[in-house]
Every structure is written in C-alpha cells, then in structure tokens.
Amino acid sequence: GAVVSQHPSWVICKSGTSVKIECRSLDFQATTMFWYRQFPKQSLMLMATSNEGSKATYEQGVEKDKFLINHASLTLSTLTVTSAHPEDSSFYICSARGTGADYSNQPQHFGDGTRLSIL
C-alpha cells in the first residue's frame, strides 16, 4: 500500500517551455503533499508544501510564480515549472502523507522523481 506515482520520470525540453509534473497517491488520500528538489549528490531541498484545496506554502527563496503548485484533490498534486531554463534542470521529487488522526507520525511516501533537463 501507500504508493505514490510521479510522472513523467524524465523530461528533456527546450529553454522557455513550461513543464508539468504530476504526483498521484494511488491507494490513499493525501492531505499534504511535498515537493522537493535534489541536486546531484546533495540532500533534498523542500520547495513547497501543499494542502488539498488551499494554496501552497513555499519555502524561502522559491519563486512561486516560477514553480506553480496545484493540489486540487486528495490524490493529485501538480508542479509546473514555467518558462524553464537550464538552471532549473534538476531531480524533482514529490511525497505525500495520508489523512487520519495519527497522520503526524506517519512516514512520507515518495514518488520516483522526475529528471528535468532543460536544453
């Protein structure tokens, strides 16, 4: 159980295009979803936290107009990288946490990540 599906797994596109990444919880309802960025051989950098039906909370230094996050349902969150440039190339990972009274002590369930390469 607790599967998170992230698509696409790999994207290569030209500079200036927008890219949408989907994150779905397949067998549970995710009240909260997290979006991370990971550089080679480095830790996870939390970009934003989204709660279903409300606006995402962005971490300091993350441009909300650049990285659009939508969490319209309890099973789907999307990250759109708008007008992507080579410096946006990275590995993006989503994770989700379920609902319920004890959600706070539950682990996060991660997608397999999206490798974004901007030419």
Partner 1 sequence: AQSVAQPEDQVNVAEGNPLTVKCTYSVSGNPYLFWYVQYPNRGLQFLLKYITGDNLVKGSYGFEAEFNKSQTSFHLKKPSALVSDSALYFCAVRAASGGSYIPTFGRGTSLIVHP
Widest distance between CA atoms in the chain:
45
Q: Which one of the spans 12-20, 67-75, 77-85, 102-110 is the region binding partner 1 (CB under 8 A)?
A: 102-110
Q: Supply the minimum distance, in Å, between the C-beta of residue 65 and partner 1.
A: 22
Helix and strand totals (H; E) in the chain:
0, 11
Minimum distance between the CB of residue 33 and partner 1, rounded to whole angstroms? 12
Size of the site for partner 1 (CB under 8 A): 22
Question: Contact between 27 and partner 1 (CB under 8 A)?
Answer: no
